[in-house]
Amino acid sequence: METPHLSIFKDDVAELDRVLLGCVLFLVGCGVLCVFSAGAGYRGRGWDFALRQSLWMGSGIVVMLFVVAVGYRRLLDIAYPLYGLTLFLLFLTALLAPRIKGAQSWISLGFFRFQPSEFAKISLILLLSKWLSRYPPLNLKAFFWGLGVAAPAVVLVLAQPDTGSALVYLVITLGMLFIAGTPLRYLGAAAGLSVAAAPFLWFFLKEYQKLRLLVFLDPMRDPLGAGYNVIQSRIAVGSGSFGGKGFMMGMQSKLRFLPEPHTDFIFSVYAEEFGFAGTTLLLLLFAVVFSRVVAAGLRSRDRRCKILVSGVAVWIWFQMFESIGMSIGLMPVTGLPLPFLSYGGSALLSVFVALGLVGSVYADSAKRFRF
């Protein structure tokens, strides 16, 4: 005999946005293929990377369905302790985690390394959606309180140091503040102050961070050092031409000219092998995902949902923009993964959790429209 809880879960799954889910699964499938291709030239670990990514994809789908079953309301109820837990994990990471490639970002569990900064995006979105719906940022004091909620997470990831994640937190926060009703003059003033403070922040950057900004402006400043990544990435993207070289035929990754092809520069691998035509399809799929996520928020009558979904949409959009931008030299290198495609369990699982929240909002609003 079917239990009531199982029946409710089946109803929620049946109400999921199939267009969104189909596009996401297609993108993740492309990611598995690209990870396999990139890994084949990276220490010959193509099958290993592809298998791990496939397992994370399966785990992500299970986690997404679990979040849909739990529902966004229950998760909003525990938003404060969840945020506190992730802040504690970020503190432990900055304090105790081993330094890998210049940053302390991963906590090792022996069989699995996870990145707390990825899951902190989820808890930040949950907390801000709850906070901003209760205390709308309609005056300067409430606006600063909204910024203050995100400040501890930003400071802790900067201590690792992880500038890319700090930027994501800031963009998510500003996007959610905008949707929550912050007057444009406050956001404009914050942007102006940030630009004015930028020259002074230069003195607080580490040397490798300064070099990244300098080679962003002129990659030939250090073509065999800090600028090498960007130069090789642009060569890979450009050599793809219109139709691409074909799957497994990208020479930049196979001959190991392209650094970190399975993570930071996965877009370059994709563009070289599938060309302009494949890249256009990829961007269209991202556009559909973004539009369907936004649509889920617009359908809902719950103010918290609109703010929550806006945080997820801004997160996916900004990371896509930054990751693709740094691959073609339009943005500085930050090491942010390309959502759905880049190799990595923490990044993929956290995005599926976010999609579970969106799915829960969509299913809830679908029931309301039906009745």
DSSP string, 332-347: ----PPPTTTSS-HHH
Gap between the Cα atoms of 2 and 4, Å rounded: 7
Token pair of 265, please?
């520069």
CB atoms within 10 A of CB 369: 9
The partner residues of 114 in beta bridges, in order of sequence, read 107
pLDDT at 18: 86
Gap between the Cα atoms of 134 and 191, Å rounded: 25
- What is the Rg, in whole angstroms, of the alpha carbon atoms belonging to the chain? 21
pLDDT at 370: 55
Contacts (Cβ under 8 Å, ≥6 apart) of 82: 75, 122, 123, 126, 127
Give 331's Cβ-side CA count (13 Å radius): 18
Contacts (Cβ under 8 Å, ≥6 apart) of 95: none
Gap between the Cα atoms of 123 and 78, Å rounded: 10
Note whether 129 and 315 are within 8 A (CB): no
The total number of residues shown for the chain amounts to 371
Gap between the Cα atoms of 360 and 57, Å rounded: 19
Q: Could you tell me how far CA 160 lies from the centroid of its own chain?
A: 18
Phi then psi dihedrals of residue 103, to 5 deg: -135, 150
pLDDT at 223: 73
pLDDT at 260: 76
Average pLDDT by consecutive 10-residue portion of the chain (371 residues)? 51 70 92 86 75 91 92 91 92 76 68 82 93 85 86 87 86 91 85 76 72 76 75 84 82 75 86 91 95 89 89 94 88 86 89 93 70 47
Gap between the Cα atoms of 61 and 83, Å rounded: 23
Gap between the Cα atoms of 70 and 167, Å rounded: 30
* Residue extents of the structural domains in the chain: 42-74+205-366
Position 239, amino acid: S
Please choose, from the candidates 237, 232, 209, the residue with its C-alpha nearest in 3D space to the C-alpha of residue 220. 232
Gap between the Cα atoms of 8 and 300, Å rounded: 19
Helix, strand, coil percentages for the chain (3-state, nearest 5): 75, 0, 25
Q: What angle do CA 77, 16, 24 make, to 5 degrees?
A: 100
Note whether 177 and 143 are within 8 A (CB): yes
